[in-house]
Amino acid sequence: MEASVVCAHLRIRVQDPLLSTLRRRIPLSDYRCLRFKSSRRSCYTPFIRAQQPEAMKNSNVDSEEMKELGSGNPIDDIRMKQGITIRRRPTTGPPQHHVGPFEFRLENEGNKPQNILEEIVWNKDVEVSKMKEKKPLLKLKKDMDNALPPRDFIGALKDSYVRTGMPALIAEVKKASPSRGVLREDFDPIEIARAYEKGGASCLSVLTDQKFFQGSFENLEAIRSAGVKCPLLCKEFIIDAWQIYYARTKGADAILLISSVLPDADIKYMSKICKLLGMAALVEVHNEREMDRVLAIDGIQLIGINNRNLETFEVDISNTRKLLEGERGEIIFQKDIIVVGESALFTPADIAYVQESGVRAVLVGESIVKQQNPTEAITGLFGKDISKI
């Protein structure tokens, strides 16, 4: 096997039998950090991370499926078969690294994110690895004993829908987003959460990603500790089961699983963890293929249809209608799955449109967080005061 790097205009080619040996044992997509020092003069240090991928580690990958695929890199094959374009991490290692005074840049498209969602996921992978080092799962599980108890997220949505006859509101506490920039300069998460609750929100969604959304786990914890009664969705980019336990220690009642990022095996495994912890999993889809994958998984109770394409940022609320038409809508009805219409909802007409399409809940950020008075903004969005119904 051969790898090439560029070092101060000098191309160095490295051949090492160790790489081929490892290649047979570790899927290429999971390579991050391999050090080999064949001689003191060698100045190339390729990166391989010898960590088992989630889908395999959790041993939920169907062994028949693995046999059938049977190529050199089962995880990439499974991703491709499921239509997942978002790669978990750079395929050729981080964009650059340093050895002594030298800076190396691998010459490969594999270390450039293809879109913002991939960039978020790659960043999250590094972030979570560091957090896990600081607090391994065993320590985290101990912290869970002190966590405030989980509340019934799905129950709150159902109760509200039955009571009001309108989609239940999951109101989003979000300071900024990659597509819209800063939404609110004077951002006080507790004040906003209380205003949403007063306006009739059933549940809240709290952004915890710092780098791209200016959110934090401190915000989540503070809202929970402030006595806000609405159950809380931890709006995070979950790529590792460890994050679910972490979210629980911070008071989350639900988490988000994005199907364009996670293979089926991870969605199954992570949903099971949620159930064990008394939490809900909101499984997000954006197209027919993702919807079909998720509908084929047993036990899914809550599906979010995102009207925003997270790779291009295009929004189109007719996406909700498209994914609920025909047989898919029938299956959802039979399985009593709650569907949440997500993103780009601004007016009572938008709410009526997604309700007629079949949603029983909506997730709304921008249109209410931007308003000076978020309580009144909810009334404006629904065309009536839903807190009084």
Helix, strand, or coil (residue 275):
helix
Residue nearest to ligand LARABZUK as judged by C-beta position: 365
Least spacing, CB of residue 322 vs ligand LARABZUK, in Å: 17
- In the three-class reduction of DSSP (H, G, I as helix; E, B as strand; rest coil), residue 207 is classed as strand
Q: Can you tell me which residue has the tokens 């691998």? A: 106
Q: Verify whether residue 342 is a known catalytic residue.
A: yes
Residue (45 or 208) nearer to ligand LARABZUK, CB: 208
Choice among 124, 175, 235, 250 that is catalytic: 235
What is the length of the chain? 389
Assess whether 133 carries a catalytic annotation. no
From the candidates 219, 343, 357, 367, give the one annotated as an active-site residue: 343
Residues of the shown chain interacting with ligand LARABZUK in the complex, contacts defined by CB under 6 A: 116-117, 172, 174, 177-179, 306, 308, 310, 342-345, 363-367
Nearest to 381 by CA among 164, 171, 157: 171
Please, what is the minimum distance in Å from the beta carbon of residue 201 to ligand LARABZUK?
13
Beta carbon nearer to ligand LARABZUK, 3 or 310: 310
Residue 284 bears catalytic tag: yes
Smaller CB separation from ligand LARABZUK, 32 or 175: 175
Tokens in use for 119?
């960039």
Identify which of 353, 261, 257, 240 has the alpha carbon closest to the alpha carbon of residue 299. 257
User: ∠291-210-171 over CA atoms, to 5°?
Assistant: 55
What is the DSSP code string of 115-167? Answer: SHHHHHHHHHHHHHHHHHHHS-HHHHHHHGGGSPPP--HHHHHHHHHHHHSSP
> How far apart are alpha carbons 116 and 93 in whole angstroms?
18
User: Active-site residue among 54, 284, 290, 366?
Assistant: 284
CB of 166 to ligand LARABZUK, least distance (A): 17
Does the annotation mark 314 as catalytic? Answer: no
Please, which residue, 249 or 307, has the CB nearer to ligand LARABZUK?
A: 307
Please, which residue, 177 or 219, has the CB nearer to ligand LARABZUK? 177
Verify whether residue 172 is a known catalytic residue.
Answer: yes
Least Å distance, CB 369 to ligand LARABZUK, is 7
- Give kind and range of the element (H or E) at residue 5: strand 2-7
Number of neighbours of residue 240 by Cβ within 10 angstroms? 20
**Residues annotated catalytic, as ranges:** 172, 174, 235, 284, 306, 342-343
